[in-house]
Amino acid sequence: MHVRAAALTDADGIAAVHVRSWQAAYRGLMPQEVLDGLSVEERADGWRSILADPERISRTLVAEHDGRVVGWAGFGDARDEDAPGTGELWGIYALPDSWSSGVGHALITAVERELADAGHAVAYLWVLEGNERAGAFYERHGWAADGAAKVENRPGLVLHERRHVKTLKDAVG
C-alpha cells in the first residue's frame, strides 16, 4: 500500500470510496434513503472540482493498493472559528473491504505528520454520534473526545457529531 497526494485522476476512486464507505459505516445512523441516493458519478464530479481548484484550502491524500484507490483523507487548517491555529482532519474513509487492513492507520499517520509539519501542534476531527467503530479507531490512535459537540444540518438530514482532539508533537519523527 502506498499513501500519496491525491491527483485529479483520482476523483473516480475517491468518489467510490466516499460513497461505499458512507453506505457501510453510516447504515442505521443516517436515513437509508440518503445513503441509497448517494451517487459515485456525482461525487466524482464534485471531487474533480475540488482537486482542480488551485485555491482549495484542504489537502487530500489517497491510499492505493495495486494501483487502486482504497482510502482517502482530507485535512487542513481548522474550519471552526473557535480553533484558530489548529489543524483539522476533515474526513478519512476506506473501502469497506479494506477496513482493518492498515489503510486507515497509514492515512491517519500521514495526515498527523503533514499537519505537524505544517506547524499545527494540535488537531481535531468530528465523529458522527453512534459511529462507534470510527470513535474506537481514533481513540486507538490517540485522539480523545473532549466533550464538544455540534449539530450540522445537511439536505435531508441532521448530523450530531462529537469532537476528538490530539496533540501532534508525537506525530513528527
> What are the pLDDT digits (tens) for 58-104?
999 999 999 999 999 999 999 888 777 899 999 999 999 999 999 99
Domains of the chain: 2-123 (3.40.630.30)
Number of Cβ within a 10 Å radius of residue 133: 13
pLDDT given at position 170: 52
In this prediction, residue 171 has a pLDDT band, given cuts at 50, 70 and 90, of very low
Question: Under 8 Å CB-to-CB from 156, ≥6 apart: which residues?
Answer: 31, 33, 34
Cell numbers representing residue 36 in the block: 441509497
Number of Cβ within a 10 Å radius of residue 170: 10
> What are the pLDDT digits (tens) for 26-54?
999 999 999 999 999 999 999 999 999 98
Percent of the chain residues topping a pLDDT of 70? 98
CA distances from 104 to 26, 40, 159 (A): 17, 21, 23
